[in-house]
Amino acid sequence: MWAVLAHFDGTDADEEHRILVLYQEFRGPLLRHVRKATGNDLQWAEDVVQETIVRAWRNSARLQWEPSLIWAWLLTVARRIVIDGRRRRSARPQEVEPPEVDTVAVPDASDRALSAIVVADALRALSDEHREVIEQTYLRDRTISEAAEILGIPPGTVKSRLYYGIRALRELLREKGAAG
Which part of the chain has CATH 1.10.1740?
2-91
Q: Angle, to 10 degrees, between the axis of helix 42-58 and the axis of helix 12-37? A: 150
What CATH number has the domain spanning 2-91?
1.10.1740
Average pLDDT over residues 57-78: 83
> What is the reported pLDDT for 176?
79
Counting Cα atoms < 13 Å in the Cβ hemisphere of 2 gives: 9
> What is the reported pLDDT for 154?
94
What CATH number has the domain spanning 110-176?
1.10.10.10
Contact 20, 80 (CB under 8 A): no
Average pLDDT over residues 85-101: 73
Calculate the average pLDDT of the chain: 82
Q: What is the pTM of this model?
A: 0.45
> What is the reported pLDDT for 95?
65
Residue 4 above 60 pLDDT? Answer: no
Amino acid letter, residue 20:
L
Could you report the per-residue pLDDT of 134-160, keeping only the tens digit for each?
999 988 889 999 999 999 999 999 999
Query: How many whole angstroms separate alpha carbon 115 and alpha carbon 124?
Result: 14
Average pLDDT over residues 22-50: 89
